[in-house]
Structure 1
Amino acid sequence: MNDRPPSPLAVANRITSNALGPYQTATLRIGIAATFLLLLLREWPNRHELYGPDGAFHHDLAKARVEATDSFTILVWSDNPLWFELGYLFAIAASVAMVLGWRVRAVAVLFMLAVLSVHNRNPVVGDGGNNLIHLMSIYLVASRCNQVWALDARRRDRNVDGADVTGVVLWCVLGLVLASVTLLGHLGTVWMVILWILWLIYVPWWWAQRRGQGELRTVLAMSGNLVHNGALLVIMMQMCLLYATAGWYKVQGTRWQDGTAVYYPLQVDAFNPWPALSGLLASHAVLILALTYGTVLLQVAFPFTLINRRVKNVVLVLLIAEHLGIAILLGLPFFSLAVIAGDLVFAPTMALRRVERAVMSALPGRSRHTAVPRFSHQEAAAPVASVVARTGSDLRTGH
């Protein structure tokens, strides 16, 4: 058995010829967009107080902050209540399109702008889950998260990309909107440059596809794969950094050191949706001790478990169970859903495909066969975590 690591040329060929982790990035896309959508729907009755004209963070204050930090939000372009309603509905529509995987190349940018618009309108009402959604929405712009579980994948499998009139119309409409916003002076220099680059970058893709330029298409495909794989690596590093910093900061706290930290949030009314359940848990000192030390151990150890896929999978299940417990016991469902969506980037591909087959078989009138994106069977079976943990034999075997 040859356990020698692959050559640099083989590694370079792998990361430029394939967009790795199609199921993992699709899971992240659906999870992050669905979490943001549920958050928007949950806060619909309170939207004016949280993000609109009736909040303590009034329009002039929000506009001054945006100008001082050069951040982005369309909700300060006008103080008209109708503009706020349209902006909020835009965020909902972008989230729905992102979940469905419709025109993700364009919608991912719109989703990012929607997330930034809502969060930057009133940044003081967010939590760690909002911050993670904020970051992931940016990373998803650079990823090919529509290879599976998306309307884009369905359209690609039907080979209708050759006459993509809808895509051209959408590109032209977005260009007109961007030109209008630019002329009205709503965009700062940085955001103006970023958005125009993102809009113009699709021209060579369309040209290469329509004219059939073989070399240009190859170069663009390799560049797209490289950007996608770089974004996937950044996403995984972000999750490792999240757990590492959370764990090591907990280690420094006296309540985490003496094993009582989990007890105190259970006594806070704001984080106590089920008083009877919280009281029952808080009455067991040994269980509180185990949960406190176990939380620290899992978070500190997680980045190191990527070295071994079996250990990583066990720890991943425990971390997901931990955040499900946080969602139920502390009443923080959106925080937990956002983190779980990030966790699933490390999920084994075969496990995600089993879920896919189970869902497809449960749907009436659906075939169990699902089209697989254009990558090899070995890549489909390889765990994404192995890209970070090791580039040797794990990349050549499916688990």
Structure 2
Amino acid sequence: MSRTPAAERPRVPFDRRLAAAVQKVTANALGPYQTAIVRIGFSFTWLLFLLREWPHRLELYGPDGPWSWEMGHRLITDNNAFTVLMWSDGRLWFEIVYGLAVLSALLMLLGWHTRAVSVVFMAGVLSLQNRSIFMGDGGDNVIHLMALYLVLTRCAQVWSLDARRAARGRDGGAAGPLLWTVLGGFLMAATFFSGTTGEWWLLVLLWVLWLGQGLWWLVSRYAPEEPRTLLDVVANLAHNATLVVIMAEVCLIYATAGWYKVQGSRWQDGTALYYPLQLDYFSPWPALSDLLGASGLIVLLLTYGTVMVQVAFPFTLFNRKVKNVLLAAMMLEHAGIAVLLGLPFFSLAMIAADAVFLPTAFLVWLGARTARGRDRVLRRPRAEAVPPERSRSGDEHSPRTLVG
């Protein structure tokens, strides 16, 4: 059957197209798989980092570090950064904060009560990183930003314990109100110590999120019709706007990195990659570094290739196939950085940020393969998918509307 030529198809009026676009943005939290993989990627990266640095935590962020509590307090007073580690210089308080950071990263990875846990996750990231700002690198900066963004996204619509609970028609039980009460107590303490933690705007945001979560629970329990729909619209708008910001942030990172490299003489003559390969602290595999550094052609190709991929990537978003090819190239590049230069957490953070551009079809396939592998390891039968119209929870209580 022949298709109707594009010139002969009836034109949809602009007002109808605009109304359809508004309906799509307000009625749906777009990119559920993309935001889920970003959530999993950054929480996994932060969790691995905290566990790897567990033996050195006191030197990095605690009272035994070269950046003393007094020096940190003086800097925090000047730059108004947020960190709860300034509330006390005792080791017990530091261990509590570090332990909560590890726990929140694990719960964020699993997607358990993600709305509340994402705030704790953000507080843990900001508290540790702002305590000793000279300990971080580019990957820490990306985690810092994404921890803020994830609070405003509905990143647990899929691949989370929240989504599984919603699909089974269950609510959060007593855990939700208990978490809300405990976090309210911590928020009051943070407000009391605001003179030392700084960033008043962040405290205002936390209070708005805390009150909004309480309102969400009350409306869901006692007014599930129009008021709940209105809250869903607000949540979807916040999610979609934040998703656009995350994508723009990734493009900005690569654009600025690429254009700054273009201005460097070592990048212009194609020798920039050679120099980090000769540094001992960037050479976990000296033999491999020497092998690559000995080939001028490989160094030239990798140097120019890095610049071209970073500069070109933001422009490839207009072509899906080219974008996917460059996206795979950038992920392979970061994997190479992790191995060659010994920067695994920087590479994991950047790969997690790149994942926001992965196509939905690939992510669905990846999720299905992962689920099959999990069931094969656990030796349990695969559960049949329940059609949406047969779900016990009904359309108005679908995972999309219940999980933020």
TM above 0.5, yes or no, is yes
Give the letter for the 2:118 counterpart: A
Residue 84 of structure 2 contacts residue 190 of structure 2 at CA under 8 Å; is this kept in 1? no
**C-alpha spacing 1:370/1:268, structure 2 compared with 1 (3 Å):** farther
Aligned to 1:347: 358
Please report the TM-score for the alignment, with normalisation by the length of structure 2.
0.89
Secondary structure of the residue aligned to 1:351 is: helix
Following superposition, the deviation at residue 184 of structure 1 comes to: 5.3
Aligned to 2:167: 157
Q: Which runs of 5+ in 2 are unaligned?
A: 1-5, 389-393
Please report the TM-score for the alignment, with normalisation by the length of structure 1.
0.90
Give the letter for the 2:239 counterpart: H
Equivalences for residues 1-399 of structure 1 within 5 A? 1=6, 7-161=17-171, 164-183=173-192, 188=198, 189-362=200-373, 363=375, 364-367=379-382, 369=384
Q: Which runs of 5+ in 1 are unaligned?
A: 381-399
Deviations 1:269-292 (A, max 9, x none): 110000000111111111111101
Following superposition, the deviation at residue 239 of structure 1 comes to: 0.2
Deviations 1:340-377 (A, max 9, x none): 000010001110111111111122315265679999xx
Residue 148 of structure 1 contacts residue 372 of structure 1 at CA under 8 Å; is this kept in 2? no
Residue 17 of structure 1 contacts residue 225 of structure 1 at CA under 8 Å; is this kept in 2? yes
Range 25-34 or range 213-222, more displaced: 213-222
Following superposition, the deviation at residue 160 of structure 1 comes to: 1.1
Residue 361 of structure 1 contacts residue 368 of structure 1 at CA under 8 Å; is this kept in 2? no
Aligned to 1:396: none
Following superposition, the deviation at residue 206 of structure 1 comes to: 1.4
Residue 105 of structure 1 contacts residue 141 of structure 1 at CA under 8 Å; is this kept in 2? yes
Following superposition, the deviation at residue 212 of structure 1 comes to: 2.9
Secondary structure of the residue aligned to 1:260 is: coil
Residue 76 of structure 2 contacts residue 197 of structure 2 at CA under 8 Å; is this kept in 1? no
Secondary structure of the residue aligned to 2:369 is: helix
Deviations 1:41-82 (A, max 9, x none): 111111111111111110011111112111111112111111
Following superposition, the deviation at residue 176 of structure 1 comes to: 2.3
Aligned to 2:3: none
State the distance in 1 between where 2:193 and 2:134 align: 29
State the distance in 1 between where 2:345 and 2:188 align: 35
Give the letter for the 1:217 counterpart: R
Equivalences, count: 375
Give the letter for the 2:380 counterpart: G
Deviations 1:10-47 (A, max 9, x none): 11111111101111100000100110111111111111
Give the letter for the 1:182 counterpart: T
Residue 118 of structure 2 contacts residue 150 of structure 2 at CA under 8 Å; is this kept in 1? yes
State the distance in 1 between where 2:125 and 2:17 align: 41
Give the letter for the 1:295 counterpart: T
Over aligned residues, Cα RMSD in angstroms? Answer: 2.0
Deviations 1:314-354 (A, max 9, x none): 00000000000000000000000000000010001110111
State the distance in 2 between where 1:122 and 1:183 align: 23
**C-alpha spacing 1:366/1:342, structure 2 compared with 1 (3 Å):** farther
State the distance in 2 between where 1:76 and 1:158 align: 43
Following superposition, the deviation at residue 182 of structure 1 comes to: 3.1
